[in-house]
Amino acid sequence: MYRFIFSTFLTRLDPEVAHGLAFGVIRALPYIGLGALARAYAKPDPSLRVQALGLTFESPFGIAAGFDKEGLAIRGLGQLGFGHVEVGTLTAQAQPGNPKPRMFRLVADRALINRMGFNNHGAAEAAPRLARERRRSVRPIIGANIGKSRVVDVDAAIDDYLTSTRLLAPVSDYLVVNVSSPNTPGLRGLQELDRLAPLLTAVRDAAGGKPVLVKIAPDLSDDEVRRIAELTTSLDLGGVIATNTTISREGLAADAGLIERIGAGGLSGAPLKERSLAVLRLLRATLPAETCVISVGGVETAAEVAERLAAGATLVQGYTGFIYEGPLWAARINRGLARLAGAA
């Protein structure tokens, strides 16, 4: 049914408009009598529980940052079966993001290109909302993903991140330092070690003991990935999230003219699968076993999530697959993982 709706209706809408409509329904789930039904169907099997970052995740599968930018649909996403919801990216200063249109489907590639630009109302507005959600007795694990405000110069980035850290670390279960989106000028330069080390040190020290992870780009070289892994270990951080969207356009089935017309932005979805898996294996070979690695990029099926777990991922996240697979996606992933575990 969802595939029919997607192909005949949603694909006719601007992707950001379609996302807004679907997001509104998910946000409303707890209030329209469907949330409990969704929860009963999608609740992960107890065998899927994962202990990581000092927390208990009902499922290893969660929703990546970017889907719920401001923590407005945490309950609904939990009821759909996601074991954790990573909120954001949130910035210290409210900002509208980049001009529209800024999200584009590549249906033939099962992919998206976006240049959203961290559109959000700011960390101060989101913090009380996250605090309320964390007080609920039944909820997914809540992560807060923080980035640099666009108007802030890269040289002043640390203070900007610290503002968000002080607001969001107390009201989230873990904190993510996003230095890898291609849609904020200068941001990816923060992945250079001479800038990254003091930034991560400052955020770690301000986080009050809350687990801190760093989210990296798939476009880094293998050596750069290893060096960031070594930095993560030396700073005793919670872990690494790999990977963000890519600026590459290699190997796409979409028409080259369409890609040119779309222009800049981060590519997500199935084309990231190979590189995301490769970065995961690099990290797992470099990081201590106890360091959390969250793998994201190109997963759609339970078998693909299981492949990431077998390759050493502690947890797995998805986003673009939700657009193509629909609201029962996490439930199908969870059921498939339970079947695979039972057959092993």
Q: Which residues are catalytic?
A: 181
Strand partners, 90: 146
Distance CA 117, CA 178 (A): 12
Pairing of β 103-106 and β 141-146: unpaired
Rounded to whole angstroms, how far apart are CA atoms 298 and 317?
A: 9
Q: For residue 115, what are the contacts with CB-CB under 8 A and spacing of at least 6? A: 98, 102, 103, 182, 183, 263, 264, 265, 266
Q: How far, CA to CA in Å, does 297 sit from each of 14, 66, 112, 152, 218?
A: 23, 13, 11, 28, 9
Nearby residues of 133 by Cβ (< 8 Å), 6 or more positions away: 71, 74, 75, 139, 142
As beta bridge partners, residue 57 has 50
> What does the block give as tokens for 82?
């996601």
